[in-house]
Amino acid sequence: MPRSSDRGNVWPELAYADWQDTLATLHLWTEIAGKIRLAQTPWLNHSWHVTLYVTPRGLNTSTIPYGHRSFQLEFDFQRHVLSISADHGAYREIGLYSRPVAEFYADVMKGLSGLGLDIRIDDLPNEVANPIPFGEDRAHTAYDPVYAHRFWQVLSQVDRVLYTFRTGFIGKCSPVHFFWGGFDLAVTRFSGRRAPMHPGGVPNLPDAVTREAYSHEVSSAGFWPGDERLPQPSFYSYAYPEPPGFAAAAVEPAEAYYNKELGEFILPYDAVRTAEDPDATLLAFLMSTYEAAATCANWDRGALEVPMGRPGITRAV
């Protein structure tokens, strides 16, 4: 646990109003990288093949196949560049600084081409209101390196705690991964049972994608920096389908509440950031909301749950 004097460095402030323009631009930039991975990677259940991952420098795609070759993209929020690395040792760097999305998009595609990677993507953003094709978007231009770095700092801490939480479940469970459409870092547990057909309706996302993502019962949780609906960074937790009694369940900590508009439990990021023990506070939220979902939906908890893992200790069987 960090000392109280260090907590602000480990869990920094990230007020939505202070960086909302940078957030909007960065959201679109990550969609470009994610769509490149989407265009090249065979479909994996629940769209797990399109996500980004937290690294010691930022966010990356992991290895992307290109015929018999491979490459990856990484947002480096230490040096503020997007690096494109190919398996033959060559790479390109695209600067992260204030400029239109259209210019950034052109540079990324030029960088891919310079590495011999001929890739085409659907250039209309997903899951954003009033989307503008990347190549035409000169409206989003902001990039504040201080807040981009803070965002990565937050993701690094959340990734670590979500990973710890993930170790307490031996049923089907997603990786801890970053969805560029929703712009959130998430982990999802599955009961193992099929779910009713999802109604769809996610803005600018094909219903077929949503329905495949929610083909089975889930309890999902993660971190989201906010938008106009909820203009504050928050942790969330929801169940699909939502079982009777879930919304009224008692959860921890005291600052957590059920948001009817979003259909999920919300814990403000600041409640974790300012807590005496941020890790324990976040884990309490993750555990209590999962337990509410699993209990209300009658999951076979005895067959799915195990003690959280510890470094170097083999799990007993």
pLDDT value of residue 4:
46
Tens-binned pLDDT, residue by residue, of the chain (317 aa):
444 445 668 999 999 999 999 999 999 999 999 999 999 999 999 999 999 999 999 999 999 999 999 999 999 999 999 999 999 999 999 999 999 999 999 999 999 999 999 999 999 999 998 999 999 999 999 999 999 999 999 999 999 999 999 999 999 999 999 999 999 999 999 999 999 999 999 989 999 999 999 999 999 999 999 999 999 999 999 999 999 999 999 999 999 999 999 999 999 999 999 999 999 999 999 999 999 999 999 999 999 999 999 999 999 88
Beta bridge partners of 227: 230
Whole-model pTM: value is: 0.96
Measured in whole angstroms, the distance separating CA 135 from the mean position of its chain's CA atoms is 24
pLDDT value of residue 6:
56
Backbone angles phi, psi at 257, to 5 degrees: -155, 160
CA dist., res. 103 & res. 68, Å (int): 30
Nearest Cα neighbor of 125 from 140, 144, 113 is 140
| C-alpha distances out from residue 115 to 42, 86, 105, 219, Å | 22, 7, 16, 41
Nearest Cα neighbor of 183 from 22, 7, 40 is 22
DSSP string, 17-55: HHHHHHHHHHHHHHHHHHHHHHHHS---GGGTTS-BEE-
CA dist., res. 86 & res. 91, Å (int): 6
- 169: DSSP letter: B
Alpha helices (H) in the chain, listed in sequence order: 7-10, 16-40, 101-114, 145-166, 207-213, 269-273, 278-296, 301-304
Helix axes 145-166, 278-296, angle to 10 degrees: 50
* Residue whose entry in the numeric block shows the structure tokens 């909301």: 289
pLDDT value of residue 131:
96
